[in-house]
A and B are shown apart, each in its own frame.
Chain A
């Protein structure tokens, strides 16, 4: 002891987990879906992700005037997630604009990490959908498995969500594996679920948000989807597997900053995301509703938190 003792309030030990380690865990969890997207969509998938991640990190570093461009890793996560919501055919400038908007408008104008109301990646995507719809909705590149060097952006098809005919054109097993037209990260349910297991294992996500989300999509799809697979339950399953529901439910809606902190709040939030997604899918003018489903629920998060403060331990009437 050299006479200088540190004084601080208890506890005196801390978990080794940090914001950065949480973000790195998210990146690890994105590995399976990234791998599948490269296998399906070739080098353009890799290029899109690289441009988006680098743009997000550079823009954030410039905004914060910090040299450490990885920093807490949150910008990389935002860029990565945004890229996974883009089609392989997206031109480079679209990716750059999307990533820059995600960081600046989605995150930094609110005060940076922790203070943003909306999921930054989805803010970026929403801006692109509204501004350059022709690139973002409708026809999407058709995957060419293992054709790494081929530019697959030329051959496009409507996504399975475009209508009943398109839906019937794919099988549920193909949807599960991911060999269907769509955005980079949304097509393979298998890869998304595999990756999310890491986040469950590390305790970074709670079952309530994805559970509520997927449950609501399944129930509404089964009840209101029209039963076009010849069976209401299979229609429900189709709605879970097609489009961005799993990417949204497992990786977007579970964004810590923009979702409730309470357990019951998380469940309500998840159900809300699923319900709005299905309302847009079934009755809206767009084929897909995940983006706006989550963004709307993001806006409601503070209110949900306030109404779901748990009962404290022993909160009972005392036998006076």
Chain B
């Protein structure tokens, strides 16, 4: 079998060597966590505790009745000291529960041990996943149980586990594949059972030969599961690109993977699902890659949700003086932060500190129509024309050029020799177009 691939994309400097060989270590339990009541796409949670309450690890502290939502749990034991808006990695302050640790780390007693995979029904499994508050851990934070509940007219035959980890710098998924291969395969089997899918594929970029080897060993003897080597190219892990590379199926424009019979989940999500089904463990911690030239001691850390980024950085030796940018996520799609006083949330895959000269405050030059953005766009847009149309106030032309289909992967802006912020301009155009469509 050849190496799976897609058209377009870029080859950035991956810089994964900073952390790729570092085993996952647990960050000591922090003295305080701040747990936002919204860490997922969908309805925010209603708070279930009050200031002064004592909570235990794994105790549910936020819940929503909406289907597209995921509950949040206390990630340490201790006392609730505040409930109110707190800085959030997505920019706007969000209602959050602050818990001061009692230093004991005692777990909630009502965690029920669910039993084994064979004895649980699809509905029971889905309920477990929802109860555990599991969302897409690749960064999109879409509630996992919703993806696992497609409508009856969308049969799913293929579950893809995304181990591409195409974002430069990040190695959390890489380490999970090396250290928790059985969990990943178990998580995949849970998903396949829920969906009644006949096959499962774990896709891994071929710059991680050790992960490919370990995962292949882990699926040995599994008749319906295989590991696919993916060409190392950004954005190989973008859901549409991944599905095309592995299954040669094109998710229709404006559609979802389930439209082509596929559900995909990140390796971290698979591990979380395995934890929920095997041990009844809610999502109270995740693996985060703390990296970048600005971090004194880069690491792959297992961090309790709600731990403040400032505490994480302190544990990694702090930020170097020359740090210019702090990013939550990877360098291609992550969000630049104004402060490190923000909590690690379920979607935090990386904490990245960049220094000069990577953070260059460049000036854009006129487009020289080199077409490199056109060649790089994985979904065949003409980024420079969309950006131009938007800048000239021609929103209709931008819409006709499919601005709304942009997956915001950043390839166009990365590759532009004129340093035009193409992705940003298209993002603006997309937002205005979607706003306009909503009003109609």
Chain A residues packing against B (C-beta within 8 Å):
1-2, 4-15, 17-19, 21-22, 72, 111-115, 203-204, 206, 256-263, 266, 305, 309-316, 318-319
Contact = CB atoms under 8 A, between A and B. Distances in A.
B226 interface: no
Contact of B410 (A10, A203, A258, A259): A10
Contacts of B337: 5, 7
Contact of B374 (A22, A113, A261): A261
A197 B337 CA distance: 43
Contact of A12 (B334, B361, B375, B381): B334
A262 B374 contact: yes
B240 A261 contact: no
A312 B253 contact: yes
B252 A318 contact: yes
B253 A313 contact: yes
Tell me which of A5, A9, A114 has the highest count of chain B C-beta atoms within 10 A of its own C-beta. Answer: A5
A115 B366 contact: yes
Given A5-B326, A6-B325, A13-B332, A261 B251 contact: no
B213 interface: no
B151 to A, nearest CB: 13
- Chain A interface, DSSP helix/strand/loop, else mixed: loop
- Chain B interface, DSSP helix/strand/loop, else mixed: loop
A11 B331 contact: yes
Tell me which of B13, B325, B423 has the highest count of chain A C-beta atoms within 10 A of its own C-beta. Answer: B325
Interface of B: 10, 12-13, 168, 240, 244, 250-255, 259, 294, 318-321, 323-327, 331-340, 352-354, 358-362, 365-375, 378-382, 384-385, 401-402, 405, 408, 410, 413-419, 421, 423-424, 427
Contacts of A15: 10, 12, 414-417
Contacts of B381: 310, 312
A115 B13 CA distance: 32
B78 to A, nearest CB: 29
A114 B332 CA distance: 27
B375 A263 contact: yes
B338 A256 contact: no
A266 B371 contact: yes
A313 B337 CA distance: 32
Given A5-B339, A11-B414, A114-B366, 16 more contacts: A5-B336, A5-B338, A6-B325, A9-B336, A9-B424, A10-B333, A12-B331, A13-B331, A13-B414, A19-B368, A22-B368, A113-B368, A203-B375, A309-B401, A312-B402, A314-B250
